[in-house]
Amino acid sequence: MENGLVLPAITTAQMAEVDRLMIEEYGILLIQMMENAGRNLAEQARRMVGGDLIDRHILVLCGAGNNGGGGMVAARHLYNRGAHVRAKLVGDTSHLKDIPARQWRILNTLGLTEDVISTLESTDLIIDAMIGYGLTGNPRGQVAEWIARVNAASFPVLALDTPSGLDTTTGIPGTPCIKATATLTLALPKVGLLTREAAPYVGELFLADISVPPVLYQRLGFRVPPLFVTDTIVKLHKEPVL
């Protein structure tokens, strides 16, 4: 990792336990983690489009789960900072979980949501927030259709936590799987992001702060040095010591 830091990678099950402990033991609510993830996602997007969001056109593809909620938060922050934002819910609104549903209502109020995206032309960046670390099996339905459409378009893609379609424990890409220019993963890198098979889909790998307390990692037996001393986003080399 950059700056000489060495950190562990975690499995999908271990990440789920991090999320559980954050909420149930430490009182750090999902909406807080989602806000942190989305704010950092927007910041990484800003960096990827050259540092200036004014008049940049960004498409945010959101799933109905918590990963999608992070994308929705990012859409709001990008809009507030001057970008032209289109947010597309890839799925059925009836499947939205409670907190992502709240985020989607905000975007509706701001006029940022679109039911039909007829063209991807003039898009500076696509944000993939369709599927998070909980994926099992191949993407299906609208998600699979959008993955194929994004991959065919050849625009820069920023994936939240993992490229949609990638198994974050095995590192085996599904059929289909997003080919991201960069991936902003959360808390700690997932082992599946670091495999040889995953490399063409992950792109550059970055890690974002969602405010996990160091004591939580200690409780799970991980030795994690201070990661976000100077920035809430750090670039990772894909060779962590497990």
DSSP at 3: G
In a domain? residue 17: yes
For residue 176, cis peptide bond before it (omega within 30 degrees of 0): yes
pLDDT in tens, 61-112: 999 999 999 999 999 999 999 999 999 999 888 899 899 999 999 999 999 9
Measured between alpha carbons, how far is 149 from 180 in angstroms, rounded to an integer?
13
Tokens of 38: 């989305």
Minimal CA–CA distance to 97: which of 127, 126, 66, 72? 66
- Residue 229 φ/ψ, nearest 5 degrees: -70, -40
In a domain? residue 21: yes
In a domain? residue 241: no
Within its chain, how far is the Cα of 130 from the centroid?
Answer: 9
In a domain? residue 242: no
Minimal CA–CA distance to 76: which of 117, 47, 55, 104? 104
Measured between alpha carbons, how far is 210 from 215 in angstroms, rounded to an integer?
14
In a domain? residue 40: yes
What range does the domain containing 216 cover?
Answer: 2-236
In a domain? residue 109: yes
3-state secondary structure labels for all residues of 92-153 = CHHHCCHHHHHHHHHHHHHCCECCCCCCCCCCCEEEEECCCCCCCCCCCHHHHHHHHHHHHH
Cβ neighbours for 127, distance < 8 A, ≥ 6 positions apart? 41, 45, 58, 59, 60, 61, 71, 74, 75, 157, 158, 159, 160
Q: Taking the model in full, what pTM does it have?
A: 0.95
User: What is the number of domains present in the chain?
Assistant: 1
Confidence at residue 238, expressed as pLDDT on a 0 to 100 scale? 62
Q: Residue 183 sits in a domain of what CATH number?
A: 3.40.50.10260
Measured between alpha carbons, how far is 175 from 177 in angstroms, rounded to an integer?
6
Confidence at residue 241, expressed as pLDDT on a 0 to 100 scale? 37
Measured between alpha carbons, how far is 59 from 111 in angstroms, rounded to an integer?
14
In a domain? residue 202: yes
Asked if 47 and 82 touch (Cβ cutoff 8 Å), the reply is: no
Between β-strands 233-236 and 204-208, what pairing exists: parallel, antiparallel or unpaired? antiparallel
In a domain? residue 177: yes
| 242 residues of the chain, pLDDT tens digit each | 444 456 889 999 999 999 999 999 999 999 999 999 999 999 999 999 999 999 999 999 999 999 999 999 999 999 999 999 999 999 888 899 899 999 999 999 999 999 999 889 889 999 999 999 988 889 999 999 999 999 999 899 999 999 999 999 999 999 999 999 999 999 999 999 999 999 999 999 999 999 999 999 999 999 998 899 999 999 997 654 33
